[in-house]
Amino acid sequence: MASVKITNENFEAETGAGAVLVDFWAEWCGPCKMLGPVIEEIGEEEKGFKVGKVDITTEKELAQQFGVMSIPTLVLFKDGKEVDRLIGAYPKEAIVHWVKEKL
């Protein structure tokens, strides 16, 4: 399953149950562009958690609600609650290891 576009309207529905890795990103962000294909790969390959993306340019309320000050920021949610976060671009293996370690 590829990543899901998460908006203010569908945030609770998408993150309320199970494990979800959410990428807070923006089109104008260089590191976000590098990380984008990695996040898509993780979304397609991993079965133990869902992957979503929040464009902070259009979803300013979500970025503010979760205190996202730097991008890319990866936030791991479990049953609607934040478990942990990573700030910056990381290799795919490091992200997958981090998610599985936190779950």
Question: Where in the sequence numbering do the catalytic residues fall?
Answer: 29, 32
- Nearest-10 Cα torsion for 21, 64, 83, 47: -10
Give CA–CA dist 70/100, Å, rounded.
23
| Contact (CB, 8 A) for 25 and 54 | yes
What letter does residue 8 receive in the DSSP assignment? T
Give the C-alpha distances (Å, rounded to integers) separating 74 from 89, 92.
9, 12
